[in-house]
Amino acid sequence: MKYRFLIILWTLLAVVQTFSAFATDSGHYLGGISTVADNGPFDVFRNPALLTRLKGNAAIGLETASLIKEIPRADGSVDALYEGETTISQDCQISLSPARAFEGAIAIAVKPTETVALALGYFQGYNRSRKEIRVEVVTGSSVKTIVLDYRDEDIVYALTPSAGFNISDALTLGFKTAAVSRKSNMRRNESQNSTNSGLLSKENEKTLLAEFNLEPSMGLLWNSYTLQVGLILGIGSFSWSKEQKEMKYQDILLPSNSYDQSGQTSLSGKMTKPPYVHAGMFLDINSLLGIGVEVGLHLPSTYNKSTLTAENNELRSHERKIVNKNTYSMAAGMRLSISHDIILNLGSSYQHTSYTDKSHDYSNLDMIKKETRHYMISAGADCFATQKLRISLSTQINYNRDILQNSTSIPQKISLDLSETDISLSVRTGFVIVKFF
């Protein structure tokens, strides 16, 4: 039971990372570049300064994506003084089922004058995953087996209004605010068995997490005949969250320890995403070939977050201190015009994130460290069926590696190291209609 909190947190973080890696900006055709290389009305989700480059008076775009194939793999190890009896140092078994995910977006942009463009974008995404973690603990002549089964769903809705303004012939300024609603439904079933006593305990837990985020940012674009230089400045994310939890625990050997509890945290607001900057450049080498690069950096940040944890047969709220650091990204892409009506796009990107999670008031835990590395390769094509209709098709290959470590300073030392890797393939389709009035 002492591993429970650590494994739960690792699972939640892995689900969020899977979804965020899948849900990229519309610039995914060029490796996720978002500051330069205009993409019609979908620039509402990227650099809003690009909106003034809209061709025609208005445009509407629709885009969908599905996760076609995922190959997950995970392993872990335990090193602990279990129940004060003996020292454990061994691997734990982790079974992962392929995730299911899809997303869709619609964007509308209008250009009432040559110097002003307005746009509104709506995004919706869904992710579902399942994991089973098995830990075997040898205590004398008995072997205790702990099995945890997780089924998680994550739904995201986002509405993004944007505006772009031409300051001069070469300089454009843009603003956008993303209003993001996230709902997570997490279920966990745990059982503990012993070779000497059979079934020891069962536990069922259901957690509902609701979050609302506001993410304002501004964009700049300088462009010449062959060169674009773009910049996105974000002031961070303001988040309001609330957690509801139901937990039922049955102790077979000591029924008096059983309980059936429910509770919720109060609605709290805080700044959860630090200020960030993305800078990019796109160069048209000639009429057939263009290349782009981009780098991004998030500033370090610290905030506190409340969560419900079972302690002494009750659900209690505990404060966790989250420290974000070493978050950066790099992307590069190439655009090739093979004919007047067909454009090929190739790209790749790398993103690195890491942070620590300190829980001072939870007796079995001191600190958790998590590091994520995400690699992506994309390839796509834009086909202009008519002068007013553009059809897009792309594929995206993601490789993720998550590493979680925990350490503690309490007498009964518990150390749990977990790592997860997965390779996924997604397909994205979309169309844009321009000049429809």
pTM of the model: 0.84
Q: What is the pLDDT along the chain (437 residues), one digit of tens a residue?
A: 444 444 444 444 443 333 333 333 444 568 889 999 888 899 999 999 999 998 888 999 999 988 888 888 877 766 654 444 445 555 667 777 878 888 999 999 999 998 999 999 999 999 998 888 777 777 667 777 878 888 899 999 999 999 999 999 899 999 999 999 999 999 988 888 888 778 888 888 898 989 999 999 999 999 998 999 999 999 988 889 888 888 888 888 888 878 888 888 877 778 778 899 999 999 999 989 999 999 999 988 887 777 777 666 677 777 778 888 888 999 999 999 998 889 999 999 999 998 887 775 545 556 778 888 999 999 999 888 888 888 888 898 999 888 877 665 544 444 667 777 888 888 888 878 876 55
Query: By the 8 A CB rule, do 280 and 34 touch?
Result: yes
The Cα-based distances of 171 to 47, 54, 251 in angstroms read 13, 15, 68
Residues contacting 212, CB < 8 A, separation 6+: 179, 180, 181, 182, 239, 240, 241
Residue-wise over 40-64: b if at least 16 C-beta within 10 A, else e?
Answer: bbbbbbbbbbbbbbbebebbbbebe
Cα separation of the two ends of the chain:
64
Q: Which among 386, 369, 380 has a CA at the least distance from the CA of 325?
A: 369
**DSSP letter string, 67-101:** EEEEEEEEEEEEEEEETTTEEEEEEEEEEEEEEEE
User: Residue 263 and residue 223: Cα distance in Å, rounded?
Assistant: 55
Could you count the other beta carbons within 10 Å of the beta carbon of residue 269?
A: 11
Residue ranges and CATH numbers for the domains of the chain are: 4-434 (2.40.160.60)
Task: Give the SS3 label for residue 279.
Answer: strand
